[in-house]
Amino acid sequence: MPWPAAPDLLAPLAPWFGRVRRDLPWRATDLDAPHPDPYAVLVSELMLQQTQVATVVPYFNRWLARFPTPQALAEADEDTVHKAWEGLGYYRRARFLKAAAVSVAAEGWPGDLEGLAQLPGLGPYTAAAVGAIAFQWPAPALDGNAFRVLARLLLIEGDPKIRAADLRTWLAPALEAHGPSRLTQAIMELGATVCAPTPACGACPLADACAARQAERTGEIPPAGKRAKPKESAIWLVAMEAEGYLLLHAPATSGLLAGLWRWPTIEASELASQTPAPGLVPMLAWPGWTQVYTHRREAVSPLHLRLGTRFQAAEGLRWIPAADLSALPLGQRDQRLRDLLATPGQTPLEAPDPAALIRACATLLG
DNA sequence: AACTCGTGGGG
DNA sequence: TCCCCAAGAGT
C-alpha cells in the first residue's frame, strides 16, 4: 500500500477538530485523558449505530438521567429499557446495551480490545471506538464516515471496506501520534460535517492532500452501495376495545419490532376474503398510510373495533387496561394508531352493522 | 455472504 | 416520490 504516512497526512485534523468540534453531551472536555465516564461512551456508541447524532442527543440525555450507571441499567426490566429506546429503532441495541451493562456491573470493564468486542452488540467498529474514546487505546475505529474520508483521501477504488485490514494498520500510528480519542472523533466529525456524501471541500482541512479531490472524483468515491428492493405488504392494524381494555401482542423475542408491544395485524387479503360483507370494511377504518422499514414497505389500514365483552385471547395476545397503554413500548407504526385512538375528532365512521367484521377479526385473532 | 433489523433527514 | 445514507452487528 503506497500510501503516505498517516501521522503526517492526518496532522491537520487535530487543530481543525479543536476549532470546530461540536459540543455533544457524551463528549469529554479533555481529549488527552481517559474519559471520566466510560458508560456514557458505551451508551452513545450503541445509540449512534446507523443513527445520526441529532437523533441520538435527546435519547442519550434521557437515558443517562434514567439509567445513570451500568448498575442502574442492569437492574431495569425489559419494558422500561425498551420504553426509553422507543422511537430510536433497531431495538435489539437496547437489549445488547442492557446485557453489556449486566456484564460490566458484575465483572467490571474489560481490560483490552478483545474483551470489549465480546460484549453483546459491540462489533469491530464499536469495540474500537469505545477503546479509543473511553480508554485512549490506539484502536482504529472504522465506521461509514471513516471509510468515506479515507477512501477519498487515499483514492481507494471500489468498496473501501475490502481494505479494512490495511486501513487499520495504516491508521494506528496516527492514533498514537495525535491521541486515540481526538483523532477517532475528528475523522468521524469530518465525515459527518464536511466530507459528507456530497462533500464541502472548501471547508476541509485535508483538501490539499486529498487524492480524490485532485482527481475530481469525490462524487464517485466511495461507490454507492447496492440495495435490495423492499418487500411490499398490506395489513389491517386492529385495535379491539372491550370493557376498557385493548388487545395487544406481547413482545416477541426476535424479528421485526422484537421487544416491543404491537397491535394485532391481519393481512389485508385475508380479511377481505373472510368478511361476509367486505364493503363494510373501509367504513370502519381511518385513512391509512405507508409504513417504511429498511427492507419492507407496509400499506397500513388502521381499524378500531368496539366489542361489548372481551373474548378469550389467543396465545401471545393480552388484554391491556386502556390507561396502561402509554407505559408500553411501541414502534412508530403502533404509536400512530395509539395516538389516533386518543385524539378527539379522529373517530372513523361507524358501520351500520359491524358485527360481521368483528366476528371475522375475532376468528382471525382468537 | 447475503439478509435482517427502524426511523429520520437530505438531495 | 424516490433514493441514499446514518459513529453496524448478528446470523
- The pLDDT assigned to A11 comes to 98
- From the Cβ of A121, is strand C under 7 Å away? yes
The answer as to whether A235 is a domain residue is yes
| The total number of structural domains that make up chain A | 2
- Which residue type does A249 have? H
Per-residue pLDDT tens over the stretch A201-242: 999 999 999 999 999 999 999 999 888 889 999 999 999 999
Residues A183 and A281 in one domain: no
Q: Are A159 and A306 members of one domain?
A: no
Active site residue A78: no
A274 and A195 fall within a common domain: no
| pLDDT tens-digit readout, A45-60 | 999 999 999 999 999 9
Average pLDDT across chain A, whole number? 93
Contact between A150 and A209 (Cβ < 8 Å): no
Nucleotide in closest CA–C1' contact with A96: C9
CA dist list (Å): A17 to A116, A208, A258: 27, 17, 39
Residues A200 and A254 in one domain: no
Residues A270 and A207 in one domain: no
Q: Are residues A236 and A210 in the same domain?
A: no
Helix %, strand %, coil % of chain A (to 5): 50, 10, 40
Rounded CA-CA distance A50/A259 in Å is: 19
Position A111 in a domain: yes
CA distances for A27 relative to A23, A46, A163, A257, angstroms:
7, 15, 29, 30
| CATH number of the domain to which A89 belongs | 1.10.340.30
Instruction: Report the CATH number that the domain containing residue A331 is assigned in CATH.
Output: 3.90.79.10
Please state whether strand C lies within 7 Å of residue A152 at its CB atom. Answer: no
Distance (Å, whole) CA A100 – CA A362: 41
User: Considering the domain boundaries, does residue A161 fall inside one?
Assistant: yes
- Could you list the residue range(s) of the whole structural domain that residue A291 is in? 231-365
Predicted pLDDT of residue A217 = 96
Same domain, A164 and A267: no
For residue A35, what pLDDT band results from cuts at 50, 70 and 90?
very high
- The answer to whether residue A118 sits within a structural domain is yes
